[in-house]
Structure 1
Amino acid sequence: MLSHLLWSSAPSALDQGRTPYVDALRSARAHVAAPFFLPGHKLGEGLPDAAAPILSCAAPYDLPELGELDNLFAPVGPLDEAQRLAAEAFGARRTWFLANGSSAGVIAAIVGCVRLAPPGARAVLLPRNAHRSAVHALVHSGAQPVWLVPEIDERTGIALGVDVHTTLHAALAEHGAGAACVLLVSPSYEGAVSDVRAAAALCAEAGVPLVVDEAHGAHLSLAPGLPEGALACGATLVVHSTHKTLGALSQAAMLHAAHTPRPAGAIGAVYAAAARALALDAAVSGALESVCSSSPSSLLLASLDAARHQIAGAGARGPRELRRAVRLAAAARRAFAREPLARPRLVALPAPARGVAATDPLRLTVDAASLGGGYALEAWLIENWGVYAELASVDHLTFVLGPGTRGAHVRLLLAALRGAQACEPARAREAARSRLDRTRLGAVLAGSTQLSTPRDAFYAQSEAVPIEDAIGRASAELVYSYPPGVPILCPGECVRAEAVALLREVRELGGTIVAADGELHTLLCLAEGAP
């Protein structure tokens, strides 16, 4: 029965102690005697000499989609079991493995919702500081963005989440009838967790799916001291970068469909809800095929199976390692509190507050302005101590702890920051110049007028114009700083003086700008007369 697929109360027959895809990959490798299939290195025998020292151990398992390894887009064997195990472990109704990163999951989730939306429902409500993959989804789907302005912490200038009770509530009241979905980003790069539970309730009332880009939150809900994850809070679709905060390899991610609440009332309502859920699954699956490789890496898929086992198998050490990371982060915070003058100031985001329901304790963000800014401090830490941050911005550095973090790592970080304070590594750049103009940042995050949809602007005839002459015209390109990949200009958006000034400022202060003209002499704009 259709409803049985979604609401069966039968006990699970799944064994979280199994690693079906890892086992299948190991078995397949042992069985291959003559590899007349792709890839061309043939189990590592043909690896380039320069790469052999670092790839020779993994290359024998770099296998294509052999029959015994299943098919990612039509799984019936070990991949199907591995994905069902992951869905159970993370509390999802269905899980898709992604070998193209969480970007592919964000795109597929939005495109799937747009495909399934009623005629005329072409709006996507999303924060102006969403990841660039969300803009790619707008281009791919042809949807019209409704930008949600995130809150900004007044003390630090760090962008937080969207305030659900005011900003999202007002946007749904105005645009809900024409909305294909709502996208929220939670947690943020610096660890601000949105009120997903309240957002899910608002979206359910409006009949609009809620997609949560939880790329930085695959670990949430998995250990004491960590905030609740989006799946537990009622989001419709949730994207995890399993490699970011768990044990998978880089580029390995998951997309989850949440359990559908069983409707009360007549059996017809139950069947209708089940049909909608399965239709969404089909729409998302189709979208994934359009943005994912037809040759997924067996190594990445195996790492996803193993990462799930690490947090859910019998005696799994993943939760223990996350608990240890929480303790180490707490110890680091105590050290900062004891020696406030011996290192840069630790940023404490407000929580709860507008746009923030909680914060991820595994993020440590320091104010680097007194040492010449985040870019200068990052370079000094790398050169002198081998300490690498996850995110450098104009004013801050963010360090992320995870299952693999050890006490020695944290002690080295603290010692390096003490050394930075003592050596003042960034005297070459005046501290006063290190701070980003928050007025400009706020203006950009407030969004600009969309002169065309991102899709129309992306495919329209364009021309490179001097950057000053671009002001007032429609951008034909996506321009962003990386990391974190948050757009400063979106296709179809009116170029404003504040955005141009912000781009120049970020670049002058050491940030990387990704644009057609990386020197920022020109911008691509819609050609005069282009629709």
Structure 2
Amino acid sequence: MGQLWDKLGDLSRSNMYPYHMPGHKRNAGCGMDTALFFDHDITEIDDFDNLHDARDIIMDCQNRANALYKAGETYFLVNGSTCGVLSAISAVTGDGDTILTARNCHKSLYHAAYLRNLKLEYLYPQRISGYDFCGAVKPEDIDAALKAGTSIKAVFITSPTYEGVYSDVRAIADIAHSYGAALIVDEAHGAHLGISDRISEGAIEGGADIVIHSLHKTLPSITQTALLHVNGTIVDRDRLKRFLRIYQTSSPSYLMMASIDDCITYMTANGNLWADSLMSYHDKIIDATRQLQHLEIPDDNIVNDPCKVVISCRNTSISGSQLYDLLRTRYALQPEMACETYVLMIITGMDTIEGIDRLIEAVEDIDRRLGFARDMRLKNDTLSTDTAPKAIKTLRDAWDSGFEEVILESAVGRIAGDFVNLYPPGIPIIVPGEEISQDIVSTIRDSLSKGLNVQGISETGKIRVIT
């Protein structure tokens, strides 16, 4: 157990009566279905420190996390990686500054741009040849953009991507720093990187100035728990902590912080064993599915992250959404997400042999059944990400403008008044202030028709445009 959880348990077993928040009064025996952890759920009382001014047990917990990841400083996040992204970008930019960002970044980057009234210059990740997802951001593209750009304060990239592709953070960090720009890496899906020699190094070792980890995505910690790490001297740490106080709740959950601490304690003691299990599961899946005739599971030359298993149906008669439904309904396997031509599964060191075998058997069975399907290849007509839609207004000006909702066909030539995202992972098709083209409308229509989760389109099929 982690130190914080143990201390909460000591309090629960003591005769100290709670005349303070929360309102459940640690009464775990009240009969409510959700009362299981009431006895460990407290507020900032004596002897339990304060996340926003950590000097005692929470400071010790953060220091243990820092020792595991070997960063300059590490901070607990209980509002998920989103608050880490908001705080990181706010800390290194001022009103109206410019940030260089990959177009495939999470929507929290765009929210930070709105809040700080930032100008965005875009990078375009490589496309994975033959597969319908983004690859790495090329260091030479960053170098060219920084050379051509004026007063770019920071570079923001996502590595690994949702599908598990790494960028060369070490090379990118060297380039960014040579131009005096900070490098922020959204490593939300890579909290496991660098914890063992069996797994690749992460962005901290690569020299990024700020790295954000979602512990709950791949490590044993409850949903919404995350970490922010800061390195070097470019980032003003007092300024960063100020924004953490702004974007994090003033009532941080001790259950979440205890879960973070327990996760760090577990991984410190068992990280190599966890990594051995992960790599064993990953290698077993790859080796067992090499002879598939119709479905494909790319190996680590394409999907670098061992936590990600991409099941491609690009050369079959079914879509990613149909494959997703098959895995759920016929085999009782819940995927992470579906896109047009693939399904994404997440594995970790906490999986089981039984679970891994079930996945292999399901994929093999579906592959056999597809052998009897008629040969109908899906057309890959996804919108190219080589160029972004034309920005007519700044994100802030557009989002603060009046708007109306119109049918998609009437939106061509209008300026977007809100985001339209494919979710997960939350990457925007269109950003407020950008001109809606016929290609954008076609992409949205196509995504909806394939059963993908498109956020920003109303139930009546309308989109917001500024008036």
Contact 1:40/1:46, CA 8 A, preserved across alignment? no
Contact 1:132/1:485, CA 8 A, preserved across alignment? yes
Contact 1:377/1:425, CA 8 A, preserved across alignment? no
TM-score (norm 2): 0.94
Contact 2:309/2:344, CA 8 A, preserved across alignment? yes
Contact 2:292/2:367, CA 8 A, preserved across alignment? no
Question: Are 1:366 and 2:311 matched, yes or no?
Answer: yes
Q: 1:492 to 1:426 in 2, by over 3 A?
A: farther
Question: How many Å separate the matches in 2 of 1:222 and 1:426?
Answer: 45
Alpha-carbon RMSD:
2.3
Contact 2:198/2:275, CA 8 A, preserved across alignment? no
For residues 225-283 of structure 1, what are the alpha-carbon distances to aligned partners after superposition, in whole Å with 9 as ceiling and x for unaligned? 3221000010000000011111111110001002x2xxxxxxxxxxxx5xx54xx2122
Question: How many Å separate the matches in 2 of 1:231 and 1:202?
Answer: 16
Tell me, what secondary structure is at the counterpart of 1:228?
coil
Contact 1:215/1:239, CA 8 A, preserved across alignment? yes
Q: Give the gaps of 5 or more residues in structure 2.
A: none
Question: Are 1:73 and 2:55 matched, yes or no?
Answer: no
Q: Which amino acid aligns with 2:75?
A: W
Instruction: Select which of 87, 111, 117 maps to 1:142.
Output: 117
Instruction: Select which of 25, 30, 55 maps to 2:13.
Output: 30
Q: 1:67 to 1:371 in 2, by over 3 A?
A: farther
Name 2:353's counterpart in structure 1: 407
Segment drifting more, 280-289 vs 85-94: 280-289
Tell me, what secondary structure is at the counterpart of 1:234?
coil
Question: How many Å separate the matches in 1 of 2:430 and 2:244?
Answer: 26
Q: Which amino acid aligns with 2:126?
A: E
Please show how residues 262-301 of structure 1 align to structure 2 within 5 Å.
273=233, 277=235, 280-301=236-257
Q: Which amino acid aligns with 2:456?
A: A
Q: Measure how far apart 1:469 and its partner are.
A: 2.3
Question: How many Å separate the matches in 2 of 1:484 and 1:397?
Answer: 13
Q: Measure how far apart 1:345 and its partner are.
A: 1.3
What is the aligned length?
466
Question: Are 1:331 and 2:304 matched, yes or no?
Answer: no
Segment drifting more, 180-189 vs 40-49: 40-49
Please show how residues 402-481 of structure 1 align to structure 2 within 5 Å.
402-424=348-370, 432-433=377-378, 435-438=379-382, 440=383, 442-443=384-385, 446-481=387-422
Question: How many Å separate the matches in 1 of 2:460 and 2:395?
Answer: 23
Q: 1:130 to 1:47 in 2, by over 3 A?
A: farther
Contact 2:274/2:350, CA 8 A, preserved across alignment? yes
Q: Measure how far apart 1:113 and its partner are.
A: 1.0
Tell me, what secondary structure is at the counterpart of 1:154?
coil
Q: 1:240 to 1:502 in 2, by over 3 A?
A: same
Q: 1:105 to 1:293 in 2, by over 3 A?
A: same
Q: 1:465 to 1:63 in 2, by over 3 A?
A: same
Q: Which amino acid aligns with 1:90?
A: Y
**Percent sequence identity over aligned pairs:** 27
Tell me, what secondary structure is at the counterpart of 1:331?
helix
Contact 1:211/1:236, CA 8 A, preserved across alignment? yes
Name 1:111's counterpart in structure 2: 90
Q: Measure how far apart 1:47 and its partner are.
A: 6.3
Q: Which amino acid aligns with 1:286?
A: R
Name 1:250's counterpart in structure 2: 223
Name 1:395's counterpart in structure 2: 341
Question: Are 1:178 and 2:118 matched, yes or no?
Answer: no
Q: Measure how far apart 1:127 and its partner are.
A: 0.8
Instruction: Select which of 454, 463, 466 maps to 1:523.
Output: 463
Question: How many Å separate the matches in 1 of 2:348 and 2:39?
Answer: 29
For residues 390-437 of structure 1, what are the alpha-carbon distances to aligned partners after superposition, in whole Å with 9 as ceiling and x for unaligned? 22111101222112012111100011112223445997x99545x541
Question: How many Å separate the matches in 1 of 2:307 and 2:121?
Answer: 32
